[in-house]
Structure 1
């Protein structure tokens, strides 16, 4: 699997999944309940050991929020609350998943990791055909990546126990919906 596969760790940034971030009462709780932190760390170790590239997708905006859509129900509060500001602690990957030299950094300004990013040129250059999708939120970036990845002819695998929504219902609904576009697997079931 490793030869043409990439592990994407999406939006596991301090603002969302650090105990001191804005997601402390939602994503942090659900990540702990679902063992997402430990599962993700183990999956990253396995991917690296297999020689698989690891990519980190991070939502973020310039300090002036010029890319932040004012009418977005998802991002409209970022500007007034100072969230998702590139170059600051909140948009750094949570230290438990620390990127290493050679890992791929993808910055996005919308829900989809494909929209307006360098993701497609990177995947093309690496010869990637399969995406392992992890992160928060299941009903946001993970679902968007699976749907758009499918439409771009990638084989997509959502690693269910490495994902979380803000609520159990959001996560379960997203997993049920994404099964039309992607395989769904537990981290331990993946063969490298």
Structure 2
């Protein structure tokens, strides 16, 4: 199924197909969101690790290899590659947003220099590629990313990473509100479950972004 007809929510079930997307490498950035070592670690108990096994499998078999390919393709085309990662500046984490201080899955105390907070080594930043450190879900909220993108003349942002229904979706909404064109690469993203992943893509598609596959996005470049 083409990106033009996939992931249609109730709101867009009968909408016309969108126009073809053309991306100029000079005004396009790839934003890789929260692909950090900590999310590949086993959970506190064997039972919880087993519950997350489908996520680990998708990450190892699909998301990490596809991001490696997407990053390489963008670098070859001269597309700016930017990374965002969750990290706090203070060791006690008191600079974190409220969502990262609440108990439960979203609670994360991850000082910026800890090894498990770094970008997964298979896709690590190179040379002078920018890494945005955030204490919020959205990579724009509370960071200078908005200013950085505008200063570099970026008009379109390709998004990949985790989690589809949390930081990816939040970032996509923020980018759309700032009038950037946004493309989400479905097979370069993951949520805890495929149900959550697909449900969120249905919600954000066509209003906040266009959801595409890796092979499709590579055809958008001029």
- How many residue pairs are counted as aligned between the two chains? 186
- TM-score under structure 2 normalisation? 0.77
Give 1 or 2 for the bigger CA radius of gyration.
Answer: 2
Alignment match, 2:13: none
131-140 vs 182-191, greater mean Cα deviation: 182-191
TM-score (norm 1): 0.89
Aligned to 1:59: 86
- CA separation in 1, counterparts of 2:155 and 2:167? 19
Q: 1:137 to 1:122 in 2, by over 3 A?
A: same
SS in 2 for 1:102: coil
Provide the C-alpha distance between the structure 2 equivalents of 1:15 and 1:6, rounded to a whole number of angstroms: 25
* Match for residue 144 of structure 1 among 170, 173, 177: 170
Q: Indicate conservation of the 8 Å contact 2:92/2:109, yes or no.
A: no
Cα distance change of structure 1 residues 157 and 21 upon mapping to structure 2, 3 Å threshold = farther
Give the equivalent residue in structure 1 for 2:158: 132
- 1:65-84 residue pairs with structure 2 within 5 A? 65-70=93-98, 72=99, 75-77=101-103, 83-84=109-110
Contact 1:9–1:133 (CA<8 Å) still a contact in 2?
yes
Match of 1:94 in 2: 120
User: Whole-Å Cα distance in 1 between the matches of residues 171 and 103 of structure 2?
Assistant: 23
Q: In the aligned structure 2, how far is the partner of 1:83 from the partner of 1:32?
A: 24
**Structure 2 match to 1:46:** 73
What's the counterpart of residue 183 of structure 1? Answer: 210
- Name structure 2 gaps, 5 residues minimum: 1-23
SS in 1 for 2:75: helix
Shift of the 21–162 alpha-carbon distance from structure 1 to 2, 3 Å rule, reads: farther
**3-state SS in 1 of match to 2:148:** helix
Q: CA shift at 1:120, angstroms? A: 0.9
What SS does the aligned partner of 1:54 have? Answer: strand
Residue 103 of structure 1 corresponds to which residue in structure 2? 129
Query: Over aligned residues, Cα RMSD in angstroms?
Result: 2.1
